Amino acid sequence: MVRTMLSAAFAAAVTLAPAQAQDLGDIVGGVARQYLQQEQDRAAFAQAQSADTLSAYQSYLRQFPNGAYAEQARDRIQRLGGGTGVAPTNPSQTDTAGLSRQQRVQIQRQLNGLGYSTNGADGNFGPGTRRAIALWQRDRNYAQTGTLNAAQANEILQGTATTRPSTTAPAVGPAGNEADLGLNRQQRQAVQAGLTQRGFDTRGVDGVFGRGTRNAIAAWQRANDMEATGYLTAAQYDRLVGR
């Protein structure tokens, strides 16, 4: 329909006087820009629907705060536990502007230590960290925004939330068994060093069990005819650190 209108307008412009043609050309250009924006809006919302995650809908709203699908996006964010669904213009500025890089790294390490994987501890709050924050907030009955307010950042930095709330069911299965070991940072580093020495790359020996370490643990377990859970038992820990 829009293409037909544009074609007709271009054809009419050819037969008009130069001044009239210029006016019509401006109109056609405006229609074309509006059509392109509508298509971009539609494509962005379709992408958010495909992912169907809190961050995906928030990303859509940052691009199109008044888009044709903005209300649908806000409604879906609320259903996903994201509060009012009003996405900040730049979430990285809302919760990191007052934090040093060292503090951001410490927040990531604390989250990893609590079992919320940030996929690294480099001081950059990317998708992995946002997801970890949202899960941490969920388990504490906070609005699941994926961004930290000052009180929440201090709660993590001060280590006042070293364990999950008592209202949250304790972790079970392989993850729970590893959590029960209570490994400190040095012990985790020893595990990573043991895996690396055996040829299983953990992508760093930093005491943080991110995706690289989990994959390395699972690969080592498979190579030794164990169930490849990516989480350690007490016996496996002892074996890796050479005890």
What DSSP state is assigned to residue 83?
T
Contact (CB, 8 A) for 195 and 220:
yes
Q: 33 CB contacts (<8 Å, ≥6 apart)? A: none
CA 160 to each of CA 14, 144, 163: distance values in angstroms, whole numbers, following the listed order: 73, 19, 8
Q: What is the per-residue burial (b if ≥16 Cβ within 10 Å, else e) of 199-235?
A: ebebebbbbbbbebbbbbbbbbbeeeeeebbbbbbee
pLDDT tens digits along 219-234: 999 999 999 999 998 8
pLDDT over threshold 60, residue 20: no
Residue 222 token pair: 């498979």
- How buried is 240 (Cβ within 10 angstroms: 0-12 exposed, 13-18 middle, 19+ buried)? buried
- What's the CA gap between 241 and 19, in Å, rounded? 82
Segment of 24-28, 86-90, 96-100, 134-138 carrying the highest mean pLDDT: 134-138
Contact (CB, 8 A) for 96 and 76:
no
- What's the CA gap between 126 and 65, in Å, rounded? 21
**pTM of the complete model:** 0.35
24 pLDDT band (50/70/90 cuts)?
low
Contact (CB, 8 A) for 21 and 13:
yes
pLDDT tens digits along 54-106: 777 877 877 877 788 888 887 777 676 655 444 444 444 456 657 788 888 88
Q: 19 CB contacts (<8 Å, ≥6 apart)? A: none
Task: Identify residue 229 by its one-letter amino acid code.
Answer: T
User: What is the CA 35 to chain-centroid distance, rounded?
Assistant: 31
CA 105 to each of CA 22, 23, 73, 82, 84: distance values in angstroms, whole numbers, following the listed order: 57, 57, 31, 24, 29
214 pLDDT band (50/70/90 cuts)?
very high
Contact (CB, 8 A) for 82 and 54:
yes
